[in-house]
């Protein structure tokens, strides 16, 4: 296949993958929200469930997209599962990723409470409160902590990043993916943190060759943030001085950085990481 055809195919796939998300978030869900009273009432009080419903719409569209691909590509077809690569993680990896995710939550909460950041970007707290809006915390746990992360990682790492890797050298694919991931975040500060997370997730995904790795980190990070919010830990930290918050923020960042560097250089990656996963047909 020529380079031009590879680029065109990559762009077409990315447009389709993002198009499904745009259609669900900005067309289908708003339409139902504005025309079905019970949906509007329930979803307005349970934002994480609304997120779950929207993600479900996207996965239904992905199902049909990949069925069409299977019909058209035949023996060249790759399923969504095989493209993303969901190789198993071992216990040691899961412990590492839990520590990284929890440290990431401390890093973010301390950042948003530093006086300059909190005064310049007051929407950070509102962003957390918005996605914490639910009648039961289990809705937040599942919707924002698991299902939202699951879809986000499938889209940005499993699909988009792997499309970039087909036509770009790894460093450029990693950087471009992180930029796009950051741009899709709702505020400048979260864009910056999203860019850093995009680099982090990309490196770990390449190392482990398993999307479960970034899903695990992202889930621990989100669940920790919203659990600490539920326990009002973030409110308590908001009363701390910058002399306390800044060192905590720096320590959390260094903790993540050193852990990631050690992980990338260590031999704790999946024992099967160098084995090519056989494509799943179906």
Residue 222: which of 89, 123, 131 has the closest Cα? 131
Q: Tell me what pLDDT residue 265 has.
A: 82
Q: Could you report how far apart the first and last alpha carbons of the chain are, in Å? A: 24
Over the stretch 148-176, which tens digit does the pLDDT of each residue have?
A: 999 999 999 999 999 999 999 999 999 99
pLDDT surpasses 90 at 246 = yes
SS3 191: helix
Q: Tell me what pLDDT residue 51 has.
A: 96
**Contact at 8 Å (CB) between 158 and 79?**
no
Residue 252: which of 241, 260, 264, 240 has the closest Cα? 260
Task: pLDDT band for 1, please (50, 70, 90 cuts).
Answer: low
Over residues 130-155, the mean pLDDT reads: 95
Sign of the four-CA dihedral 172, 149, 219, 249: positive
Task: Tell me the β-bridge partners of 210.
Answer: 86
In the chain, DSSP finds a helix count (H) and a strand count (E) of 16, 0
Span of 50-54, 92-96, 272-276 with lowest mean pLDDT: 272-276
**Contact at 8 Å (CB) between 60 and 24?**
no
């Amino acid at each position: 296949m020529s380079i031009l055809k590879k680029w065109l195919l990559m762009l077409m796939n990315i447009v389709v993958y993002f198009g499904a998300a745009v259609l669900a978030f900005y067309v289908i869900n708003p339409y139902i929200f504005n025309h079905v009273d019970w949906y509007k009432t329930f979803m307005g009080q349970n934002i994480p469930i609304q997120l779950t419903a929207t993600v479900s719409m996207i996965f239904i569209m992905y199902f049909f997209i990949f069925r069409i691909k299977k019909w058209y590509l035949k023996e060249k077809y790759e399923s969504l599962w095989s493209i993303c690569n969901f190789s198993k993680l071992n216990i040691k990896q899961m412990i590492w990723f839990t520590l990284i995710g929890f440290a990431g939550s401390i890093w973010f909460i301390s950042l948003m409470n530093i006086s300059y950041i909190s005064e310049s970007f007051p929407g950070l707290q509102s962003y957390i409160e918005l996605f914490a809006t639910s009648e039961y915390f289990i809705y937040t746990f599942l919707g924002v902590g698991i299902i939202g992360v699951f879809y986000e990682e499938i889209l940005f790492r499993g699909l988009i990043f792997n499309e970039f890797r087909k036509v770009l050298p790894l460093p450029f694919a990693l950087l471009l993916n992180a930029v796009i991931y950051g741009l899709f975040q709702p505020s400048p500060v979260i864009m910056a943190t999203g860019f850093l997370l995009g680099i982090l997730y990309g490196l770990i995904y390449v190392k482990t060759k398993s999307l479960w790795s970034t899903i695990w980190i992202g889930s621990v990070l989100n669940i920790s943030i919203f659990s600490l919010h539920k326990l009002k830990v973030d409110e308590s930290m908001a009363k701390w001085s910058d002399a306390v918050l800044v060192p905590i923020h720096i320590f959390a960042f260094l903790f993540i950085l050193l852990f990631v560097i050690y992980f990338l250089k260590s031999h704790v990656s999946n024992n099967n990481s160098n084995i090519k996963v056989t494509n799943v047909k179906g």
